């Protein structure tokens, strides 16, 4: 089964929200998470002809491997990139409160943040 543009678009439509939740749960930042989802799917789309699997499950595993690499890159370059973007005057499109809240809801971030916050504070001490 080939990974043509239509199939890729269908997978995006079916799985972009769950990937957004994946990133939000790791970055605690909905805006960064939206960027990472876009980067992940863009990289997958660009490399789709090199994908050798056949099932949707294999495509998703491949996309999540790309997602993990994008997340690792983001975490590594975060401080350096942030300073560079500020120096260049780059500004991201600001999300509305409704968009921000919806992403947090999709990720189940409120409950997760409440559960993890005390543990993380103990680790930092």
Q: Say what the pLDDT of residue 1 is.
A: 54
The whole-angstrom separation of Cα 48 and Cα 28 is 29
**CB burial of residue 120 (10 Å; 0-12, 13-18, 19+):** exposed
Give the predicted TM-score (pTM) of the model.
0.64
Q: Say what the pLDDT of residue 95 is.
A: 76
Angstrom CA distances, 86 to 26, 36, 77, 81, 111, stand at 23, 19, 14, 9, 32
Per-residue pLDDT of the chain (125 residues; tens, 9 = 90+): 568 888 888 888 899 999 999 999 998 888 889 999 999 999 998 888 888 888 889 999 999 999 999 999 888 877 667 777 778 887 766 778 888 788 878 777 777 666 665 655 554 44
């Amino acid at each position: 089964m080939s990974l043509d543009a239509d199939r890729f678009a269908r997978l995006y439509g079916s799985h972009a929200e769950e990937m957004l939740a994946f990133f939000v749960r790791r970055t605690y930042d909905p805006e960064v998470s939206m960027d990472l989802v876009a980067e992940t799917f863009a990289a997958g789309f660009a490399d789709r002809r090199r994908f050798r699997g056949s099932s949707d499950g294999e495509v998703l595993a491949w996309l999540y491997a790309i997602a993990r690499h994008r997340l690792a890159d983001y975490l590594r370059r975060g401080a350096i990139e942030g300073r560079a973007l500020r120096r260049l005057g780059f500004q991201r499109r600001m999300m509305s409160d409704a968009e921000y809240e919806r992403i947090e809801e999709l990720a189940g971030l409120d409950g997760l943040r409440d559960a993890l916050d005390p543990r993380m504070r103990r680790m930092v001490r």
